[in-house]
Amino acid sequence: MDDSVHSRPRVPETLGTQTLNFTLNGEPRTLDVAPNAVLLDVLREQLGLGGTKKGCDHGQCGACTVHVDGQAMNSCLRLAVMCEGQQVTTVEGLARDGELHPVQQNFLECDAYQCGYCTPGQMMSATALLNDERIGTDDASVKEAMSGNICRCGAYKNIVEAIQKSRVQLGHDATRKEGAA
Partner 1 sequence: MNDMTRPDFDKPRVVGQRTPRIDGEFKLTGRAGYTGELHVDGMLYGYPVSATIANGVLESLDLDAARAMPGVVDIFHHGHFEALHRSPNSMAHGDMVNEVRLPFEDERIYYHGQYVALVVAETFEQARAAAQRVVAHYREERGAVVSLLQTEAEGTLQESAGSSRGDPEAAFGGAEVKVDSTYHIAAESHLQMEMHATLAEWRDAGKRLVVHESTQGVFFQRNAMARVFGLAQENLEVISHYVGSGFGNKLFMWPHSVATAVAARMIGRPVKVVLPRQQDMTSGGNRPASRQRIRLGADRSGKLTSVIHDSTTETSLVHQYVDTCGSATPSFYACDNVSTSQRVLEVNHGTPCPMRAPGEVSGIFALETAMDELAVALEMDPVELRLKNNAEQDPASGLPWSSKHLDECLTSAAKRFGWEQRNPAVGSMRDGDEIIGYGMASCTWSAGRQPCEARVELRADGSLFAACGTQDIGTGTYTIVAQAVAELTGAELSRIEVKLGETSLPAGPLSGGSMATATVLPAVAAAVRDALDAIKEVAVGSGGAFEGSDADALSAEAGGLTDGERRVSFEEILETSKLSSVNGQGSAAPGDERSEYAFRSFGAHFVEVRIDPEISRVRVARVVSSIDIGRAINPPTARNQVEGGIVMGVGMGLLEKLDYDPRDARLINANVADYIVPTHADAPEIDVELLDYPDFKHNEFGGRGVGEIGLTGVASAIANAIYHATGKRHRDLPITIEALLASS
User: Which residues of this chain interact with partner 1, rule CB under 8 A?
Assistant: 6-7, 9-12, 14-15, 34, 36-37, 41, 44-45, 48-58, 60-61, 63, 90-92, 94-95, 100, 104, 107-109, 111, 113-120, 123, 142-144, 146-160
Rounded to a whole number of angstroms, the minimum distance from the CB of residue 113 to partner 1 is 6
Chain-centre distance of CA 26, in angstroms?
Answer: 14
Choose between 52 and 86: whose C-beta lies nearer to partner 1.
Answer: 52
Provide the Cα torsion 127, 133, 137, 143; round to 10°: -60
Choose between 59 and 87: whose C-beta lies nearer to partner 1.
Answer: 59
Choose between 63 and 83: whose C-beta lies nearer to partner 1.
Answer: 63
The alpha carbon dihedral of 147, 127, 96, 99 has a sign of negative
- CA 23/CA 6 separation, integer angstroms: 20
- CA 165/CA 92 separation, integer angstroms: 21
Rounded to a whole number of angstroms, the minimum distance from the CB of residue 82 to partner 1 is 15
